[in-house]
Amino acid sequence: MAYLTLRGINKIYPNGFHAVHDFNLEIEKGEFIVFVGSSGCGKSTTLRMIAGLENISKGDFYIDGEKANDMGPRERGVAMVFQSYALYPHMTVYDNLAFGLTLQGVDDDVIEERVLASAKILGLTDYLDRMPRELSGGQRQRVAVGRAIIRKVDIFLMDEPLSNLDAKQRVTMRSEISQIHRETGATTIYVTHDQTEAMTMADRIVVMRNGYIQQVGTPYDLYFNPVNLFVAGFIGEPPMNFIEARIRSGCIELPENTIDLTLAVDREVLAQYEGQEVIFGFRPEAARLAARDDVSEAYKMRCVVELVELLGDNTNVYADLSGIKSIVKVDPHDSPKVAEEFEFYIPYSSIYLFDKQTTRRIKTRVS
Ligand code: ADP
């Protein structure tokens, strides 16, 4: 059995709202798992059930093989880091870090040793005498993380810990939390609505929507092999482009653009969808240019440029592709001009196709 097992977990709040449906997941010791999804999809509710802060309405939860549904938060050996930091404003950084251990009656010299060791990991050594109000947001969040690691628990639970930080601090803290995870080896479950945080930090990501798991997989899996339209659109920035169209004679015919799907999808599969509406997808970064790349095995796309965003390492081209707003990424040296007609290519191996009715991915020859 895995280290943490969630089997058929459901949460129905007292007002009758069914917030989490049949959540199944096995987590190995030491894994860094990220729950990601839009606000309200049930991430925090699931985390709080794991923490023991919210009861489990239905299903079984095991820690290291032992049924844990009815264990109290302390018995579970978890430490939780909240978005709000939850620091004691009238205590110094040292005392904030030491507080949990003091309550447990740990000896002062052991406390000091652990506070100093944690402060070192978190770069807080020079701030131990300060009060929380004398710290930046990033430093406060480090103290909050420090309070969790000092307890030397086996399981860290983090609920949107970086959402109060500015963009730059978030990037720094992201790598610091990954580093702490490597150093402590603690099994970590991290909740965020930010797909970039999920992609950069997770061993495995759980994508949730409306209380249901959509897909569980490594960042690589979710990016290249999304199981449905939601995951395909949620993972990746800028998001995947989608074109809704009907298949006729194995092709999608758009004004100025014809996509011959027989080049990328098996005929038997295509036959099933003949005459039906599907969603064709490609990622902005899949675009290739004839001047630079081999485009012999690729769809030619014609569009009109509406906006060009030079980002330095690449350029985002916002375009009208047969009436559909699309984004493609190109090398900054190849940036087209606004209002120009522009041609790019999407390799057959980079296309996605979805069943419009079920939103599930349709198998293409390369997937
Ligand atoms: P997330 O963390 O993904 O933003 P939550 O787990 O906090 O989502 O909430 C999931 C859903 O459950 C939301 O629709 C929310 O309004 C609802 N919810 C959360 N707490 C309660 C509660 N105590 N009573 C009733 N509904 C709740």
Which atom of ligand 1 is least distant from the CA of 208? Answer: 3
User: Omega of the bond prior to 73 within 30 degrees of 0, cis?
Assistant: no
pTM score of the predicted model: 0.92
DSSP E strand boundaries for the chain: 4-12, 18-27, 32-36, 58-63, 66-67, 78-81, 155-159, 187-192, 204-209, 212-217, 241-246, 251-254, 257-260, 277-282, 298-310, 315-321, 324-330, 341-347, 351-355, 361-362
Q: Are residues 223 and 103 in the same domain?
A: yes
Of 37-46, 136-145, 231-240, the poorest mean pLDDT is in 136-145
Report DSSP state, residue 44: H
pLDDT tens digit sequence for 73-97 = 889 989 888 877 788 999 999 999 9
Q: Is the separation of the CB atoms in 76 and 51 below 8 Å? A: yes
pLDDT of residue 367: 64
For a mutational test of ligand 1's pocket, the pick from 17, 21, 36, 214, i.e. the residue with the most ligand atoms closer than 8 A to its C-beta, is: 17
Q: Are residues 96 and 218 in the same domain?
A: yes
Distance (Å) from CA 81 to ligand 1 centroid = 18
Q: Are residues 257 and 164 in the same domain?
A: no
pLDDT of residue 228: 98
219's tokens:
């960042």
Q: Is the separation of the CB atoms in 146 and 181 below 8 Å? A: no
How far apart are the C-alpha atoms of 144 and 318, rounded to whole Å? 41
Of 62-66, 144-148, 329-333, the poorest mean pLDDT is in 144-148
Q: Are residues 276 and 146 in the same domain?
A: no
- The burial of 14, by beta-carbon neighbours within 10 Å (0-12 exposed, 13-18 middle, 19 or more buried), is given as exposed
Q: Are residues 355 and 339 in the same domain?
A: yes
For a mutational test of ligand 1's pocket, the pick from 13, 15, 80, 234, i.e. the residue with the most ligand atoms closer than 8 A to its C-beta, is: 13
Of 53-62, 141-150, 245-254, 336-345, the poorest mean pLDDT is in 141-150
Q: Is the CB of 364 under 6 A from ligand 1?
A: no
Run of H or E including 170: helix 167-184
Q: What percent of the chain has pLDDT over 70?
A: 99
Residue 2 backbone class (left: φ over 0; alpha: ψ -120 to 50; beta: rest) = beta
Residue-number span of the structural domain to which 297 is assigned: 240-362
Q: Is the separation of the CB atoms in 176 and 189 below 8 Å? A: no
How far apart are the C-alpha atoms of 260 and 281, rounded to whole Å? 14
Q: Are residues 180 and 144 in the same domain?
A: yes
How far apart are the C-alpha atoms of 146 and 86, rounded to whole Å? 12
How far apart are the C-alpha atoms of 283 and 350, rounded to whole Å? 8
pLDDT of residue 291: 92
Q: Is the CB of 150 under 6 A from ligand 1?
A: no
Q: Are residues 334 and 275 in the same domain?
A: yes
Q: Are residues 114 and 34 in the same domain?
A: yes
pLDDT tens digit sequence for 281-325 = 999 999 999 999 999 999 999 999 999 999 999 999 999 999 999
Of the two residues 1 and 256, the one the predictor is more confident about is 256
Distance (Å) from CA 37 to ligand 1 centroid = 13
Run of H or E including 171: helix 167-184
Q: Is the separation of the CB atoms in 158 and 190 below 8 Å? A: yes
User: What is the domain-level CATH number for residue 269?
Assistant: 2.40.50.140
Q: Is the CB of 18 under 6 A from ligand 1?
A: no
Q: Are residues 182 and 253 in the same domain?
A: no
Q: Are residues 271 and 354 in the same domain?
A: yes
pLDDT of residue 81: 87
Q: Are residues 227 and 259 in the same domain?
A: no
Q: Is the CB of 42 under 6 A from ligand 1?
A: yes
Q: Is the CB of 121 under 6 A from ligand 1?
A: no
Of the two residues 127 and 167, the one the predictor is more confident about is 127
**Pure H helices in 195-323:** 195-201, 219-224, 229-234, 267-273
Distance (Å) from CA 324 to ligand 1 centroid = 35
Q: Is the CB of 88 under 6 A from ligand 1?
A: no
- Residue whose Cα lies nearest atom 24 of ligand 1: it is 13
Q: Is the CB of 19 under 6 A from ligand 1?
A: yes
Domain count, the chain: 2
pLDDT higher than 70, residue 243: yes
Buried b / exposed e over 79-118, threshold 16 CB at 10 Å, is bbbebebebeeeebbbebbbbebeeeeeeeeebeebbeeb
How far apart are the C-alpha atoms of 154 and 186, rounded to whole Å? 5
pLDDT of residue 138: 84
How far apart are the C-alpha atoms of 39 and 62, rounded to whole Å? 27
Q: Is residue 367 part of a domain?
A: no
- The burial of 297, by beta-carbon neighbours within 10 Å (0-12 exposed, 13-18 middle, 19 or more buried), is given as exposed
Q: Is the separation of the CB atoms in 58 and 19 below 8 Å? A: no
Q: Is the separation of the CB atoms in 115 and 97 below 8 Å? A: yes
pLDDT tens digit sequence for 104-147 = 889 999 999 999 988 988 889 999 999 999 998 888 988 998 88
At 270, give phi and psi (nearest 5°).
-60, -40
For a mutational test of ligand 1's pocket, the pick from 45, 54, 190, 193, i.e. the residue with the most ligand atoms closer than 8 A to its C-beta, is: 45
Which atom of ligand 1 is least distant from the CA of 35? Answer: 3
Q: Are residues 199 and 300 in the same domain?
A: no
